[in-house]
Structure 1
């Protein structure tokens, strides 16, 4: 997984091999950062006919776009009040809550070799599928709030769960992960996959990029991924 030095306003991680999570969010139109990337972006393939939207493209201190994500479905609620979430399938609760808990986010990470950081102050490890798994896992946690927790306890819960997500992502061969074959541009591709009570996470690699994904209410088993040919489909 990727080593980080300071990028944008982020502090240097105390984990030597944590990938850069936020970096510098590109200004102006959301699509501008995506257009500056030197790698292709991926989303769900044409079998998915629901709404699509951009999230953010993330760049290092030197402006090089490193990774980003696109959402399929509605923006999830951070704190579902009356929804019993099933990670791979259906939910209970009212119809509005159910709609907001049906989403899949696809993360694209540039495949990069070990290199010097943009500001010249550190060394970045090569990105791997573990980098995508970490970003996907932390993304799922960022839109999760277990119903039994109040506001004062969520920060502690999030910190503990984020550390666990990092450790899981660092070892994709552990028993916590299973194998799942899904099409990428029509080609069967091996992913590592895991479920929790909060949703599902998967990660793998394809030509020139590493792919991660996370979601709730949409089964990961029926997904397919494809290169995004026209980002305007995600500008909503």
Structure 2
């Protein structure tokens, strides 16, 4: 997995400037839910390397989640699609080392970290949240490195109309999946996470017009 992604996971919406600007700088296509989904769409924020190259980002669908204590009645229904550029091993921006190649595990890690960022167990004191988040984030990192392990199952979903294999897992906090858009000439990995919306009926496609996500 790419080490830069671990410190800067795709976690929350941002209100700084035009959200779409970072997306327009990417040299790869963005993915979201296909046209069968007719609900609200919104942008998260992009993740970039030290030299400013856009590496990943996410598109949101449903109700924008907030970081707060939630009860069963307050749980937001959402699905977030993470797009990760396919990158080989390459020198770091300062030429002091190398960045690992991106992979399906990278997408799984970003999706898992994103889900955790919007989860706050209702029985937990606010002062303990960071310790809990650190612990769960490490677990998500380890799970993303073991996509063939018992914690994951296979789920076939359409990507641009083509059946595509994803690695999928559920937890009490929501679900996470990850795979690759094999038919895309630019080469991207797709991750997704959500809560309150079933993953089984989802279909992904290239975002043809980012304006649909600007509200």
Give your verdict on TM over 0.5. yes
What is the aligned-residue RMSD (CA, Å)?
Answer: 1.7
Q: Find the counterpart in structure 2 of residue 155 from structure 1.
A: 130
Structure 1 runs, 4 residues or longer, greater than 6 Å off: none
Judged with a 3 Å threshold, the aligned counterparts in structure 2 of structure 1 residues 228 and 120 are, in CA distance, closer, same or farther, namely same
Judged with a 3 Å threshold, the aligned counterparts in structure 2 of structure 1 residues 111 and 163 are, in CA distance, closer, same or farther, namely same
Q: Find the counterpart in structure 2 of residue 53 from structure 1.
A: 42
Judged with a 3 Å threshold, the aligned counterparts in structure 2 of structure 1 residues 26 and 147 are, in CA distance, closer, same or farther, namely closer
Q: CA deviation at 1:155?
A: 0.9
Is the 2:9–2:113 Cα contact (8 Å) retained in structure 1?
A: no
Q: CA deviation at 1:182?
A: 0.2
Is the 1:78–1:142 Cα contact (8 Å) retained in structure 2?
A: yes
Q: CA deviation at 1:76?
A: 1.3
The answer on 1:132 being equivalent to 2:83 is: no
Is the 2:40–2:63 Cα contact (8 Å) retained in structure 1?
A: yes
| Consecutive unaligned residues in structure 1, runs of 5 or more | 5-17, 84-92
Q: Which protein shows a greater Rg?
A: 1
Q: Find the counterpart in structure 2 of residue 68 from structure 1.
A: 57
Is the 1:26–1:57 Cα contact (8 Å) retained in structure 2?
A: no
Is the 1:31–1:235 Cα contact (8 Å) retained in structure 2?
A: yes
Count how many residue pairs are aligned between Structure 1 and Structure 2: 208
| Consecutive unaligned residues in structure 2, runs of 5 or more | none
TM-score computed with the length of structure 2 as normaliser: 0.92
Residue 105 of structure 1: which of 65, 77, 80 is its match? 80
Q: 1:60-117 deviations in whole A, cap 9, x for unaligned?
A: 111100000111011113224432xxxxxxxxx2xxx25xx10000000000000001
